[in-house]
Amino acid sequence: MKQNLLDFNLDEMKAFAAALGEKPYRGKQLFQWIHRGAGSFDEMTDLPAAFREKLKEEADITPARVIRRQEDPTDGTRKFLFELADGERVEGVFMAYRYGNSLCVSSQVGCRMGCTFCASALDGFVRNLSAGEMLGQLFAAEREAGERISHIVIMGMGEPFDNYEQVSRFLNLLHDPQGRNMGWRAMTVSTSGIIPGIVAFGKDFPQVNLAISLHRTKDEDRRKIMPVDRKYPLEDLLEAAREYTEKTRRRITFEYALIAGENDGDRDAEDLTRILRGMLCHVNLIPLNEVEEIGKRGSSRVRAQEFADMLESAGVPATVRRRLGSSIDGACGQLRRRR
């Protein structure tokens, strides 16, 4: 089986080149070519022809390919269906902002968290993605879009902290000065609330942005829609969040999906203010993006802004997320394994 070189860090790439009879600096050249987005070994014109032929026999640098592309005509958001080397599929979303282009990356095929409002868990969990398969989504999306991606959010299919080792490797690969050299603050990781992952993340990546999905303010309500709350209840989660902000001095984003008639009332806003007041945080309000099989309805944009205003007036920073990709089922909570 061919080696996926997108999984390799710089030292591993040098060792791989040496194992093929080349000087280690050839591994550095190879690493640099890959992280510039080279789609084939033939593009690597400063590598000896004989080395390139060996690479074709032994290795692969295209572990993800786009098999379907959709574009939202209202905002230009593009959703890609990626097929991996074993035939499994994940989705990713390319979004244009004033500060640059961002890609929403999947970290697992499916998801085992079982959140009742999210399409990613509908077909269950299949497997974790490797760091190279996450990186492959980035390179494939850039080739398909014809534009460079400057930011990534790991908010696609899967729970990143359920695949912590490979997500960590992916972040380090992106940051390598010999590779993409992407700044830590251009990366965001979103979790449903896995406390050991939050603790490790604060130590390992104190400059990477952290987002936590909250969605309800009481355990009895939250665990009905987010089974993870049974293992990591709100009191413990919020304590972990406070410790994270104290140690890193970084603001946490709390994601709150507004579900019409369920968690968007005045009392809900008061309860959210009560549990978050005084914390270094920001609330990202997301009118629930509808999933056909689930049947829940999102709050109106008007109600979402009213909710945000209530939080703001009580001293909790909040904004309503810009809605991108909804006409192509590319918005938050809508990504899935499509066959």
104 a catalytic residue: no
User: Which among 170, 217, 195 is positioned nearest to 316, based on CA atoms?
Assistant: 217
State the number of CA atoms in the 13 A half-sphere of 338 facing the CB: 15
Using CA of residue 307, residue 310, residue 316, residue 317, what is the dihedral sign?
A: positive
The residue from 91, 133, 159, 255 that is catalytic is 91
User: Which among 267, 282, 284 is positioned nearest to 317, based on CA atoms?
Assistant: 282
Contacts 24+ apart (CB under 8 A), 65-68: 65/140, 66/140, 66/141, 66/143, 66/144, 68/338
The residue from 104, 111, 281, 332 that is catalytic is 332
Let me know if 202 is exposed, middle or buried by CB neighbors in 10 A (0-12, 13-18, 19+): buried
Instruction: Tokens for 140, please give them.
Output: 């494939």
Residue written as token pair 């080279």: 38
Helices (H), 293-332: 301-313
Contact 217, 268 (CB under 8 A): yes
Bridge partners of 81, per DSSP, are 68, 91
Residues in contact with 308: Cβ distance below 8 Å, sequence separation at least 6, in sequence order? 283, 285, 318, 319, 320
How many Å from the N-terminal Cα to the C-terminal Cα in the chain? 25
Residue written as token pair 């992952």: 197
111 a catalytic residue: no
Q: What type of residue sits at position 215?
A: H
Run of H or E including 110: strand 108-110
Distance between CA atoms of 149 and 182, rounded to whole angstroms? 10
Taking every pair of C-alpha atoms in the chain, what is the biggest distance, in angstroms? 69
Q: Which residues are catalytic?
A: 91, 332
